[in-house]
Amino acid sequence: MTAPFRVREISLLEFRCFKTLALAEPPARNRAIALVGPNGSGKTSVLEAVSLFAPGRGLRSAAADRLARRDNNGDTAPAWRVSLAVARNTNTRRLSLEAARGARKTQKLDEQKTSSLVLAETLPLLWLTPAQINLFSGPARARRAFLDRVVAVFFPEHALVLTRAERLRQERRMLLQRGGAEDAWLDSIEAGLVAETVAAAKLRRHAAARIRESLLALSPPFSRIQLSLAGDALGDSDSDGDSDGDNNSPDTFTDALSAKLRAARNHDAKSGRSAVGTHKMDFAVRFAAAADAADSAPASAVLASTGEEKHAMISLLLAAARALHTAGRSPVLLLDELVAHLDNSVSDALFAELAGLELQVWASGQELARFPSARFARCELRRNNDGTRAAEWTP
């Protein structure tokens, strides 16, 4: 089994509430790391800084121009920077992100400009925040975004597939609304859109199949859910990415989706939407029937209690982490204020599962007592009288 990835150092400059911060992983690397402090001390901002190295906008979904520090007068810093030292075995890489006011974000690996795809390959990340606890009762786009982040850790190219598909979808929409585009032009765009949509569906199914397998290996209370995909380009199915739903060939789906797009041109021109695309997928989680009765259908997570929804989300995260560990892509996990929403027994079970995988975990919370020193290396963050923040490791 390959060694896990570890964030050894975090350095922040003019980022969020931090003028500067230098935080190094403590020597006891067999423990999870807890960032502890009151609201406003900067715990989530540290986790957010790490999350920015995944495709997208990080765990707060903030644009780059919103990340620079504001001083007590409300003035914004002219630039911000985040840098990490990431280790695997004896190999350490330096990752950095920075942006000046009004400029695009610059990404570097070992001080050389690089792409978001390379950074995602260098540091696999997963996270869970309080906002995701009620994911199943929220809009489909939020569930899709969660799953796509997981898929992109398995397959970093997935983020590029989604970007290309969205660009083609928007180009088609503009041509249809403008009117007068030649059929050949639209045919070409739609062929590209179909290809990217099918590619995304296959990657989603590959990842979902691995997560399903890992769900079976979890211990209670994280082992009573079933995962299924719905509405993707290959039809509703629980199969993996190697089977194209109902045993149809890829050409069958490509031809059917192309015909669907062509037939929907007039409708899509008026509505401004697309009948086909990566945005049509959703996933569902269902709880196994309590008595496992043969005539009893599993209960949907949408109808579950708040506690069961929490267990379902944590189960998905654990199963994804386990599957990635098996695939040699052991992720760094970011858990923002999660323990405040869990009973002590559930929290203990969660961190026991993670300890068994030997993953690096960065967690945050307000109460030091929720993070026992036997399991956590604990860093206390505080806000000074002058508005600056300080961090100190505590026994």
Q: Residue 274 has what pLDDT?
A: 87
Q: Under CATH, to which class is 1-124+330-395 assigned? A: alpha beta
Residue 302 confidence (pLDDT): 63
What would the pLDDT profile of 230-257 be if each residue is shown by its tens digit?
Answer: 877 676 555 554 444 444 555 677 888 8
Concatenated DSSP letters for 57-119?
STTTT--GGG-B-B-TTSPBPSEEEEEEEEEETTEEEEEEEEEETTS--EEEETTEE--HHHH
- Of residues 87 and 355, the one with the higher pLDDT is 87
* pLDDT on residue 286: 81
CATH 1.20.1050.90 residue window(s) in the chain: 140-328
Which of 21-30, 71-80, 382-391 has the highest average model confidence (pLDDT)? Answer: 71-80
Span(s) in the chain for CATH 3.40.50.300: 1-124+330-395
CATH class of the domain comprising 140-328: mainly alpha
- 221/307 Cα distance (integer angstroms): 11
Average pLDDT, the chain: 87
Q: Does pLDDT of 21 surpass 60?
A: yes
Rounded to the nearest angstrom, the gap between the alpha carbon of residue 65 and the centroid of all alpha carbons in its chain is 21
Provide the pLDDT confidence category of residue 139 given band limits of 50, 70 and 90. Answer: confident
Q: For the residues 102-115, what does the mean pLDDT come to?
A: 94
Each residue's pLDDT tens digit, 251-283:
677 888 899 999 999 999 999 888 788 888 888
SS3 label, residue 167: helix
d(CA 73, CA 97): 26
189 pLDDT band, cuts 50/70/90, is very high
Strand 282-287 and strand 299-300: the pairing is antiparallel
Mean pLDDT of 28-38: 86
Q: What's this model's pTM, rounded to 2 decimal places?
A: 0.90
**CA 157, CA 121: separation in Å to the nearest integer?**
9
**What's the confidence (pLDDT) of residue 305?**
73
For residue 237, CA distances in Å to 43, 128, 209, 284, 302 come to 40, 26, 11, 11, 19
For 276-326, the pLDDT digits (tens) are 888 888 888 887 654 344 444 556 666 567 777 888 889 999 999 999 999
**Helix (H), strand (E) at residue 203:** helix 183-215
User: Is the model's pLDDT at 199 over the cut of 60?
Assistant: yes
pLDDT at 261: 92
Contacts of 209 by beta carbon, 8 Å cutoff, 6+ apart: 239, 240, 241
pLDDT in tens, 147-178: 999 999 999 999 999 999 999 999 999 999 99
3-state SS assignment for residue 216: coil
At residue 303, the pLDDT reads 57
Highest average pLDDT, of 31-45, 229-243, 271-285, 333-347, comes from 31-45
**Residue 134 confidence class, pLDDT cut points 50, 70, 90:** confident
pLDDT digits (tens, 9 = 90+) for 204-217: 999 999 999 999 88
Q: Report residue 105's pLDDT band, with 50, 70 and 90 as the boundaries.
A: very high
pLDDT at residue 223, as a whole number: 72
